[in-house]
Chains A and B, each alone.
Chain A
Amino acid sequence: MRSEGPGLGGAGALAAGVLAILGLPLLGLSDYAMRVATLTALYAVAATGWTLIGGFANQVSLGQATMFGIGGYVSTLLFARWGVTPWLGGAAGAALAALVAIALGGVAFRLRGHYFALITLALAEMVRIVVEYDQPLTGGAQGLSVPLVRNSLVLLQFARARDYYEIAALLLLAALALSRAIAGWPLGYELRAVYDDEIAAALAGVNVRRAKMRAFVAGAILTALAGTVYAQFTGFIDPDSVLSIPLSIQLALYAIVGGARTWWGPLAGAALLVPLGELMTSSEAGAGAGITKVLYGLILVAMVIVEPDGLAALLNRRRRGARAQA
């Protein structure tokens, strides 16, 4: 269980990565491929939000979908009812997600151990039930459609998937930049200390509750912003797609498979698993429903056996090996 600084350094490698993410549409991929790429980027942002607290500090949230759903519902409701631009709606959703995180963390971070996971799980179910119950406001279990007005950057509505992709890619770069920065800030060191031993961290002067709270709130904001763009992109949200437990698990899975202790792990995990999931879903009619989940489960089990710290650790190990041989 080793974590090292920001990692995956090299200004050249970073610049190449940024260009690859932004330049993907230049490959002339199909609209379907760009849709998958957009979904990948958005889930990678949401999983990055999870990893700030779940990966960096090992405070596993089982309700990260709540933040995603808050982002999606707040912007969609504001847009559908009052015509508020999703740019402002997204900010409002992020603000509400931050407040929810503060309230939740205020309770959960007084306790050590698994309470955080349980409390996030409980809140996620509560929010889902309230949204399903309050049909007049939220559309209930039937969900909400984003009114299609016109192709417009102001309204965050586009005809082509690649336009959504550029928005999602910019959000992704911002999320990765934040996550990478936090890893190198005092907060990053404190979170790694908390990961290893909370009591030792407190004895070394770390304000454990404050560190967890900052990471949780920053992560909630990122995940909520992804939720807003997701709602605009798909044009439709319901509790199953943005507030469900399986989504929470998925987000955690992307981060864990990719490497939850690194800033780029959630992207690696999402880039592997989201396209795979889409592929399975599109062929699901033939192969039998639910096969995606079985496959996810198998990948997770394999990953935990081979390398519990995810693809990132696998890669680091290989690089170290290569250096040792050189």
Chain B
Amino acid sequence: MLQLTRVSKHFGGLAVLREVSFTIERGEIVGLIGPNGAGKSTLFNLICGLARPNTGAISFAGRRIDGLPAHRVCALGLAKTSQLVRIFPGMSVTDNALVGALLRTRNIRQARSIAMAALERLGLGHAAYLSASDLGLVDRMRLELARALCTEPALLLVDELLAGLGPAEVNVTLELLRRLHSQGLTLAIIEHNLGALMRLCGRVLALDAGRLIAEGSPEAVSRDPRVVESYLGGAAGDA
């Protein structure tokens, strides 16, 4: 469904991604791990069209998407939620989701009912008429997910959804992602919470210093000496 072939990205002289290749098949939940600065978010930004790779190719559903602007990629069925939750604070909760639905219909009434359905699905129905700026962090995150779902994605990239959540909220969110997956959504997830990732993902990719260093089942990747070293090295470097 998604295929990256030797994708590289550098900012000025700084290589952020080096010849990264992998595929994601329909129906998977793939985790992406790596220490800070490994290039995870940059990788997601390249895939969703916020930035272009310097070399390499990205294909989604059989067509090249590198170089397409984000709204075109989104229209093809590939959506992303942001690491720092990005909602439209000046709009109502419903209107936030409605903007996503406008990609599928230009009829405001239809878009509104798509939005309401997505809000209900994520347990935000009660907040539909609030201003988005009145929501707490967890609900903002749900709202961003709802808006992404309104664009009717086949593949959803989730960039650090769990950051800042307490254990109970993490569980609720994981359950939510699992449910979306069971309803046919393919997921790729960046996450620092390795425990959560292990419970959720069928396959994990590990990135370090812009290179893909390991790939496989969560258990295998978490035991991979290079992965262990990259995390320990990072921790040692931080200390």
A residues near B (Cβ < 8 Å) are: 1-4, 184-186, 189-190, 192-193, 195-197, 199-208
Q: Is B50 an interface residue (CB 8 A)?
A: yes
> Please, what's the 1-or-0 string for B76-90, where 1 marks a CB less than 8 Å from any CB in chain A?
000111100011111
Instruction: For the complex, give the distance between the alpha carbons of A93 and B50 in Å.
Output: 38
Asked whether, in the complex, the Cβ of A203 is within 8 Å of the Cβ of B50, the reply is: yes
| Residues of the B chain whose Cβ atoms lie less than 8 Å from the Cβ of A185 | 108
Beyond A192-B90, A196-B91, A203-B48, 4 additional contacts (C-beta under 8 Å) are A3-B91, A190-B99, A205-B74, A205-B79
> Please, what's the 1-or-0 string for B92-131, where 1 marks a CB less than 8 Å from any CB in chain A?
1001001110110010100100000000000000000001
Asked whether, in the complex, the Cβ of A193 is within 8 Å of the Cβ of B91, the reply is: yes
| Residues of the B chain whose Cβ atoms lie less than 8 Å from the Cβ of A206 | 71, 99, 102-103
| Residues of the A chain whose Cβ atoms lie less than 8 Å from the Cβ of B71 | 202, 205-208
Q: Is B69 an interface residue (CB 8 A)?
A: yes
Instruction: For the complex, give the distance between the alpha carbons of A184 and B131 in Å.
Output: 17
A189-B102, A190-B102 known; A199-B108 Cβ under 8 A: no
| Residues of the A chain whose Cβ atoms lie less than 8 Å from the Cβ of B150 | 204
| Residues of the A chain whose Cβ atoms lie less than 8 Å from the Cβ of B9 | none
26 contacts between A and B (CB under 8 A): A1-B89, A2-B90, A3-B91, A186-B106, A186-B108, A186-B111, A189-B98, A190-B99, A192-B88, A192-B91, A193-B99, A197-B87, A197-B88, A199-B82, A200-B87, A202-B49, A203-B79, A203-B81, A203-B86, A203-B148, A204-B100, A205-B79, A205-B99, A205-B100, A205-B103, A206-B102
Instruction: For the complex, give the distance between the alpha carbons of A176 and B232 in Å.
Output: 63
| Residues of the A chain whose Cβ atoms lie less than 8 Å from the Cβ of B99 | 189-190, 193, 201, 204-206
| Secondary structure call for the B interface | mixed
Name the CB-closest residue of B to A209: B69
Instruction: For the complex, give the distance between the alpha carbons of A165 and B176 in Å.
Output: 60
Instruction: For the complex, give the distance between the alpha carbons of A192 and B150 in Å.
Output: 17
Q: Tell me the count of chain B residues lying within 8 A, CB to CB, of chain A.
A: 34
Asked whether, in the complex, the Cβ of B89 is within 8 Å of the Cβ of A196, the reply is: yes
| Residues of the B chain whose Cβ atoms lie less than 8 Å from the Cβ of A193 | 88, 91, 99
Instruction: For the complex, give the distance between the alpha carbons of A182 and B22 in Å.
Output: 44
> Please, what's the 1-or-0 string for B136-153, where 1 marks a CB less than 8 Å from any CB in chain A?
000000000001101100
| Secondary structure call for the A interface | helix
Q: Is B75 an interface residue (CB 8 A)?
A: yes
| Residues of the B chain whose Cβ atoms lie less than 8 Å from the Cβ of A201 | 88, 99
Partner of B90, one of A1, A184, A199: A1
> What total of A-B pairs shows CB separation below 8 Å?
88
Instruction: For the complex, give the distance between the alpha carbons of A202 and B50 in Å.
Output: 8
Name the CB-closest residue of B to A210: B71
Q: Is B204 an interface residue (CB 8 A)?
A: no
Instruction: For the complex, give the distance between the alpha carbons of A94 and B151 in Å.
Output: 36
Instruction: For the complex, give the distance between the alpha carbons of A197 and B96 in Å.
Output: 11
| Residues of the A chain whose Cβ atoms lie less than 8 Å from the Cβ of B74 | 202-205
Q: Is B70 an interface residue (CB 8 A)?
A: yes
| Residues of the A chain whose Cβ atoms lie less than 8 Å from the Cβ of B131 | 2
| Residues of the A chain whose Cβ atoms lie less than 8 Å from the Cβ of B81 | 203
Asked whether, in the complex, the Cβ of A204 is within 8 Å of the Cβ of B151, the reply is: yes
| Residues of the B chain whose Cβ atoms lie less than 8 Å from the Cβ of A200 | 82, 86-88
Identify which of A186, A199, A207 gathers the most chain B CB atoms within 10 Å of its CB. A186
A189-B95, A189-B98 known; A204-B103 Cβ under 8 A: yes
A184 CB to nearest B CB, Å: 7
A259 CB to nearest B CB, Å: 13
| Residues of the A chain whose Cβ atoms lie less than 8 Å from the Cβ of B102 | 186, 189-190, 205-206
Instruction: For the complex, give the distance between the alpha carbons of A119 and B82 in Å.
Output: 31
Instruction: For the complex, give the distance between the alpha carbons of A204 and B82 in Å.
Output: 11
Asked whether, in the complex, the Cβ of A195 is within 8 Å of the Cβ of B90, the reply is: yes
Instruction: For the complex, give the distance between the alpha carbons of A205 and B111 in Å.
Output: 13
Chain B positions 57-71 with a Cβ under 8 Å from a chain A Cβ: 69-71
A186-B106, A186-B108, A186-B111 known; A203-B88 Cβ under 8 A: no
Instruction: For the complex, give the distance between the alpha carbons of A290 and B183 in Å.
Output: 67
Name the CB-closest residue of B to A207: B71
| Residues of the A chain whose Cβ atoms lie less than 8 Å from the Cβ of B100 | 204-205
B111 CB to nearest A CB, Å: 7
A181 CB to nearest B CB, Å: 12
Instruction: For the complex, give the distance between the alpha carbons of A238 and B230 in Å.
Output: 69
| Residues of the A chain whose Cβ atoms lie less than 8 Å from the Cβ of B106 | 186
| Residues of the A chain whose Cβ atoms lie less than 8 Å from the Cβ of B82 | 199-200, 203
Name the CB-closest residue of A to B131: A2
Instruction: For the complex, give the distance between the alpha carbons of A193 and B96 in Å.
Output: 8
A6 CB to nearest B CB, Å: 11
Asked whether, in the complex, the Cβ of A196 is within 8 Å of the Cβ of B103, the reply is: no
| Residues of the B chain whose Cβ atoms lie less than 8 Å from the Cβ of A190 | 99, 102
A184-B108, A186-B108, A189-B95 known; A202-B69 Cβ under 8 A: yes
Instruction: For the complex, give the distance between the alpha carbons of A193 and B89 in Å.
Output: 9
